[in-house]
Amino acid sequence: MKRLISCYASDAINMKMDELKNAILASEGRTILGETVVTAAPLLEGVTNAEVMSSFGADMILLNEFDVFEKKINGMEYEENPIKKIKHLIGRPIGINLEPVDESAALIDEKVNLSSGRLATVKTFCEAEKLGVDFICLTGNPSTGVSNEAINKCIDIAKKHYSGLVFAGKMHGAGMLENILDEKMILSFIDNGADGVLLPAVGTVPGINENLLSDIVRKIKNKKALVMCAIGTSQESADEGTIRLIGMSNKRVGADIHHIGDGGYGRMADPENIMALSIAVRGKRHTYFKMAQSVNR
């Protein structure tokens, strides 16, 4: 068993669910996850955002707006299995978002309707399994009407039809005025089978401070689940100093995974901010190790 931060491509590319979870835990709060929107034109012509994020130090890649039936990634020629292709190119665990939309939810914004391949359903979990997706985030994009209650109801379905890691939670309101940090609800995510919980990072959502998150994170960890603290409010395109502050707050509250979102140019974080986050939480040694290694190792 290796820490994820010490893995080569050959170590990480075929990890099973338990192995990946242990590799993240063993990294002691130093795992970096980069997210990108696959329906947008990539930041750089001729290379996918997943490759750019990996080259700047990301250990895990999350593909947002990936439709498991359409299976298209902008900037890459059509592949029958683009997940397998991306893994081959970057040698990192690959995840996708699937969204448990609450049709009864009252939104404070105009609703965004999703294609069937982005919804959290039995069919999409089965397709994600066939594609070889390493982890799924049950969460909501802006104005989609994803509620905590709907997320909770999907966890058991996901675990029955999908063998990878399942993260549950919201990084922002997703168009709803509900308590994102509802402690009873969050802990029930784990009781229902979630392997990890997704939480907004300190300073990304109004009112989310270290005292509030620390208490909830401690209770999540007591239940042996992972914690992903997410920068999902477009601050991924803020200055590097802001990113460092958020990263150190993540470490103080006990995050296992530092998520940096897709709200920058090219629908990914500024590459320099991925590197700044990485250096802040684990130093140049581990950052440069990830940046320099060949996928042929």
Whether residue 143 is predicted with pLDDT greater than 90 in this model: the reply is no
**Torsion of the alpha carbons at 55, 268, 280 and 190, rounded to the nearest 10:** -110
* Better pLDDT: 19 or 111: 19
160 in a structural domain:
yes
**Contact of 262 with 237, CB cutoff 8 Å:** no
pLDDT band at residue 29 using 50, 70 and 90 as cut-offs: very high
Whether residue 109 is predicted with pLDDT greater than 90 in this model: the reply is no
Whether residue 148 is predicted with pLDDT greater than 80 in this model: the reply is yes
18 in a structural domain:
yes
For residue 176, the model assigns a pLDDT of 76
183 in a structural domain:
yes
Whether residue 112 is predicted with pLDDT greater than 90 in this model: the reply is no
281 in a structural domain:
yes
78-82 average pLDDT score: 94
- Domain of residue 231 covers 4-292
Whether residue 105 is predicted with pLDDT greater than 80 in this model: the reply is no
| Residues near 93 by beta carbon (within 8 Å), at least 6 away in sequence | 4, 12, 13, 15, 20, 59, 60, 61, 134, 135
297 in a structural domain:
no
**Contact of 118 with 87, CB cutoff 8 Å:** no
37 in a structural domain:
yes
* Better pLDDT: 166 or 176: 166
List pLDDT tens digits, range 212-240. Answer: 999 999 999 999 999 999 999 999 999 99
Highest mean pLDDT among 21-35, 101-115, 141-155: 21-35
In Å, the largest CA–CA distance within the chain is 50
Give the mean pLDDT of the chain. Answer: 95
257 in a structural domain:
yes
Locate 119 and state its tokens. 């919804």
**Of the candidates 90, 70, 91, the residue with the CA atom closest to the CA atom of residue 80:** 70
For residue 273, the model assigns a pLDDT of 98
235 in a structural domain:
yes
**Torsion of the alpha carbons at 58, 124, 223 and 217, rounded to the nearest 10:** 50
**Contact of 120 with 99, CB cutoff 8 Å:** yes
Percent of the chain at pLDDT > 70 equals 100
**Contact of 14 with 20, CB cutoff 8 Å:** no
- Residue 47, SS3 per DSSP: coil
For residue 158, the model assigns a pLDDT of 98
| Residues near 127 by beta carbon (within 8 Å), at least 6 away in sequence | 68, 69, 117
For residue 142, the model assigns a pLDDT of 83
- What CATH number is given to the structural domain containing 125? 3.20.20.60
Domains contained in the chain, number:
1
pLDDT band at residue 173 using 50, 70 and 90 as cut-offs: confident
Strand locations in the chain (E): 31-37, 60-64, 94-98, 135-138, 165-169, 196-200, 226-231, 257-260
Cα 73 from Cα 42, distance rounded (Å): 9
